[in-house]
Amino acid sequence: MRIPISGMTCQACASTIQDAISSLPGARDVQTNFALKQLNFDGVELDLVIKTLQSLGYDSPSTQSDSIFHVQEVEDLGLDETRKAKRQFLLALALGLPEFTMGMGLWPSFLPHWPPFIDAILAGVVVFIAGLQIHKRTIKQLKNGHLNMDTLVTLGSVAALIKAFALLLRGSSMPGFEAASTIIVFILLGRYLEARSRRATYSATAELFSIFQHPVIRLHDGREESISGLELKTGDHIKLRPGEISPVDGVIVDGKTQVSDQALTGEVIPKPVGPGSKIFSGTTVIESPITLLVKEAGQESFLGRLILELEKAQTQTVPVQRLADRVTSFFVPGVITFACLASLVQFLGGLVCLLAAKTNFVYVPAEIYHLHQLPVEMRFIDIFVIGVVSFLLCLLATLAPAFKGARLNPVEGLKYD
């Protein structure tokens, strides 16, 4: 069984879904394809799988599919997600950009500066309205004991917002609400660009699938009727006119013409065919109309099997990808642990320095325990260490999906002669 999934935002999401579905009684052959937003499984009722997905914060808008006929649905799902991601990003950008420019001192001097409580309202809308879906998925993930990239985004944005509110209540003129807004803006920008890129990964497959949806003339009891290529069966007779693409594999029973196999072989020179010649799905008729006896249709045709092989290649997991998946599964816990340790060390270090200075046990300059007055050298070391560790963790999370290799293994019967 194969169903599309909405709501996956990172490889950790795919791993979480695969682990959850694999733990269901009777589940086998479970594979989650993050690139195509699909879940392959067997041995489990579809309703149970969908309920499990919804409990994790994801959803599937379709029924099961064992054939190539789900391609258009996945394409539509990708289009909906792209539009939704674009709307969320534009909302966050429209409200967050003024905050960022004002907080960074880039606001034009001839424009009036609004009071900090306006920043608080705008930041609240960006974090809790534009980023609402992120926080909802985080809550559902935490209820099920899972962590993903949404968890980090929620922790970072909400923590920055709480700190800014605390500074505002203390009378600060620059509480820093732009930090919370900027996190959401950049995350939503990344999600939007990712959605566009992901659509491109299967747009070629969708274009191939569209050949099956083109109307074709079927000859039935001496009459001509126009039907979808998806409805053709072995033994049907169809009429192909110049400019039409064959949706089936078949043999010419009447007519002579020139055909182009460019979509299949890349050969741009047409070739002559006549009665007895074999035509493959994806072949374009150039000159005269022909009558074709259908031999293979749908997923049994050459083009159908090619689409299945392309999708199968996307779902294959090479050994280095399995290693990358295992490593990236520690990414989010690692970042949270690192942040907690850094906060703990900073707090304990400041507390020790403060106690030592207050008790005159040892002389400690005031700028040491007032963390905002750290010397330039110490601030540089602090930023350098945090920056290097964060860069390595982010680099690992970014490059891990690139280890995924798509391989097309030779398949018996998938030959073009």
- Domains of the chain, by residue range, sit at 2-66, 67-213, 214-298, 319-403
Q: Cα–chain-centroid distance for residue 53? A: 16
How far apart, in whole angstroms, are the C-alpha atoms of residue 161 and residue 125? Answer: 11
Number of other CB atoms surrounding residue 376 within 10 Å: 7
Beta bridge partners of 293: 237, 251
The edge-to-edge listing of strands for the beta sheet with 28-33 is: 2-4, 38-42, 28-33
Closest CA to 8 of 73, 71, 57, 65: 57
**Positive or negative CA dihedral for 363, 369, 375, 378?**
positive
For 67, phi and psi rounded to 5 degrees?
A: -130, -175
| CATH-assigned architecture of domain 2-66 | 2-Layer Sandwich (3.30)
For residue 382 the two structure tokens come to 């602090």
How far apart, in whole angstroms, are the C-alpha atoms of residue 161 and residue 180? Answer: 5
Determine contact, residues 290/252, Cβ cutoff 8 Å: yes
For residue 293 the two structure tokens come to 């006896």
Closest CA to 255 of 243, 270, 268, 238: 238
How far apart, in whole angstroms, are the C-alpha atoms of residue 213 and residue 210? Answer: 5
What is the structure's pLDDT at 101? Answer: 83
Radius of gyration of the chain (CA): 29
What is the structure's pLDDT at 253? Answer: 92
| CATH-assigned architecture of domain 214-298 | Distorted Sandwich (2.70)
For residue 379 the two structure tokens come to 């601030």
What is the structure's pLDDT at 89? Answer: 92
What is the 8-class DSSP label of residue 245?
B
Closest CA to 38 of 308, 389, 352, 388: 308
Q: pLDDT per position in the chain (417 positions), as tens?
A: 778 787 776 666 777 888 888 888 888 888 887 766 778 888 888 888 888 888 887 877 655 554 454 555 566 666 777 888 899 999 999 988 888 887 777 777 777 777 888 888 889 999 999 999 889 888 887 877 777 778 888 888 898 888 888 888 888 777 888 888 988 999 899 888 877 877 776 676 777 777 887 888 999 887 889 888 888 889 999 999 998 889 999 999 999 999 988 877 878 888 999 999 999 988 899 988 999 999 998 888 888 888 777 767 666 666 666 666 666 667 778 878 887 887 787 777 767 766 766 665 555 455 444 444 444 444 444 545 555 555 555 555 444 444 444 444 444 445 555
Closest CA to 183 of 144, 157, 146: 157
Closest CA to 63 of 45, 83, 43, 84: 45
The three-state DSSP-derived secondary structure of 61-129 is CCCCECCHHHHHHHHHHHHHHHHHHHHHHHHHHHHHHHHHHHHCCCCCCCCCCCCHHHHHHHHHHHHHH
What is the structure's pLDDT at 323? Answer: 66
How far apart, in whole angstroms, are the C-alpha atoms of residue 192 and residue 88? Answer: 9
Cα torsion for 11, 16, 21, 24, to the nearest 10°? 160
Question: What are the distances in angstroms from CA 406 to CA 35, 61, 108, 266?
Answer: 11, 26, 50, 21
What is the structure's pLDDT at 405? Answer: 41
The amino acid occupying position 209 is F
Cα torsion for 351, 352, 354, 355, to the nearest 10°? 110
What is the 8-class DSSP label of residue 173?
S
Beta bridge partners of 296: 249
The edge-to-edge listing of strands for the beta sheet with 257-260 is: 271-273, 257-260, 284-285
